[in-house]
Structure 1
């Protein structure tokens, strides 16, 4: 059982979706039907996954979103209650809860995703303003780009004004207003997202450092670039540290690995860990999550993460 540190308050703005995951050797071509090797349905969505990861890692998490008044909405409420996540997610009577199609390669664990945010697509700056007190009371605020960018920007503005540490996960990759960068204490893109934001390749560690410099030039405090099996790069004006990936076993499903990293990083920051140590903790959370099927259900407890770090 995870012990929650109530002083480690984390506010996360994002979406919930019901993940519908199919295992198969490849994606079908248009007009083709192929046989799958597995199927699962469960709670997902970047923001919600990050909330579960942070809560299992010991954080006191409030999740800000919107869901529908439907079966998938019931799934969301049950998942948050089970994980100890406080939900601030009104239910729409007209818009459905989001859903995601996930293809997982049954040989490599690599994935492809189509996500429909549903009711969370209507999240507006005014909705975020209604949750301002939650954001202002947090030690760490996290958001991404599955909900409208205007809502994400408003959350970052409220957090920055209140002196709350901000983490921006620019996923899925899309252009963002330049003003957002200056609101980010930490920006946490993966290789694809980092390349999309800067127009620069991320093929080598030196490439990642150049990308980090480009993000710092736009006003970001620290660029924390996740590099898949190569680990992550923690890069700011004072330190540039490559953090190797931590292996917890055979990789079977990389879906949600980035969410695991972000949620773990946020939880460690919220309890006052040094940022580099917090990034290592996030890497350990991701290292365990990829050895399990699913997204939110794959997130480890703090005890599991501490055990992996003790062996590293």
Structure 2
């Protein structure tokens, strides 16, 4: 029997700098805050799904160093089962994150470190984990060839696949037909389809374009505008969920993907799973950080019960 969620991705240590604005080249400015904590899209999604009540396995590589120890502590605390290879010759990855201290908007540079060496052999070694899960999730912070092979394994085994094409890097068109759900944000979707998503009609046109490429369903996250769930059978805008003042949007997309995947694994219908993901994200943006900001199942259910819509 297939259970839970398996995720292929990377862990990085997030080094976050708060400031009123980004400096220009050659300029030094004074910031208003700094923190170091666990991050990486796949890792954040794993923590989000686990805190949202799912059984989660996370497949990755880390270094044998201080940041690697942070990763393992994070998974122990969140209840994530690590399917991790520790390397002696490459460090754990790290990310520079600028956070605007006025509105929570962010910009990020990621160095994947050991996880940048994830290859097809590593994916094959995790085949049993992937095939045994109900939902499989991956992104593009590790090499695209590894993501594609993992999606092929999951698809062939009848596992529901969720592909988050982030960061917005080129990937083979052969990935699209392997996707039960492709989940870009509006910037990533624009890069994939070649036009901006300024209106609801634009978002639906983008959804059509992603389906034409072979994906079964598109879930386009639109920030405060919510999420578009688009397939051949339905096209539904799911509103964003408000939980409080927005202070840091850094992990919002990861919170959505993790919450959505956990809800699918529990058997929720796609629209309800998208609402669950929106609630997960709606709570995460009211807190500093990425993985540490992910809410518990009780918190998510409380927000859904209030039915607060932005």
TM-score normalised by structure 2 residue count:
0.98
1:154 CA drift (Å):
0.6
Could you tell me whether the CA contact under 8 Å between 1:167 and 1:187 is conserved in 2? yes
Could you tell me which runs of 5 or more consecutive residues in structure 2 were left unpaired when the two chains were aligned.
none
Counterpart for residue 30 of structure 1: 25
The counterpart of 1:128, out of the listed 115, 123, 126, is 123
Question: Are 1:142 and 2:137 matched, yes or no?
Answer: yes
The counterpart of 2:44, out of the listed 29, 42, 49, is 49
Could you tell me whether the CA contact under 8 Å between 2:2 and 2:132 is conserved in 1? no
1:101 CA drift (Å):
0.4
Could you tell me whether the CA contact under 8 Å between 1:8 and 1:267 is conserved in 2? no
Question: Are 1:118 and 2:110 matched, yes or no?
Answer: no
1:8 CA drift (Å):
4.3
Counterpart for residue 177 of structure 2: 182
- State the alpha-carbon separation in 1 of the partners of residues 14 and 225 from structure 2: 27
- State the alpha-carbon separation in 2 of the partners of residues 124 and 8 from structure 1: 25
Counterpart for residue 99 of structure 2: 104
- State the alpha-carbon separation in 1 of the partners of residues 67 and 299 from structure 2: 29
* Superposition misfits of 4+ residues, deviation over 6 angstroms: none
Could you tell me whether the CA contact under 8 Å between 2:3 and 2:132 is conserved in 1? no
Go from structure 1 to structure 2 and tell me whether the alpha carbon gap of 1:109 and 1:291 turns closer, same or farther (over 3 Å shift).
same
Question: Are 1:195 and 2:219 matched, yes or no?
Answer: no
Counterpart for residue 267 of structure 2: 272
Could you tell me whether the CA contact under 8 Å between 1:121 and 1:147 is conserved in 2? yes
Could you tell me whether the CA contact under 8 Å between 1:11 and 1:138 is conserved in 2? yes
1:126 CA drift (Å):
1.0
- State the alpha-carbon separation in 2 of the partners of residues 99 and 175 from structure 1: 22
Equivalent pairs counted in the alignment come to 307
Counterpart for residue 64 of structure 1: 59
Could you tell me which runs of 5 or more consecutive residues in structure 1 were left unpaired when the two chains were aligned.
1-5
- State the alpha-carbon separation in 2 of the partners of residues 36 and 153 from structure 1: 40
Counterpart for residue 91 of structure 1: 86
Could you tell me whether the CA contact under 8 Å between 1:51 and 1:263 is conserved in 2? yes
Matched position secondary structure for 1:310: helix
Could you tell me whether the CA contact under 8 Å between 2:207 and 2:230 is conserved in 1? yes
- State the alpha-carbon separation in 2 of the partners of residues 114 and 103 from structure 1: 9
1:205 CA drift (Å):
0.7
Could you tell me whether the CA contact under 8 Å between 2:12 and 2:93 is conserved in 1? yes
Matched position secondary structure for 2:55: strand
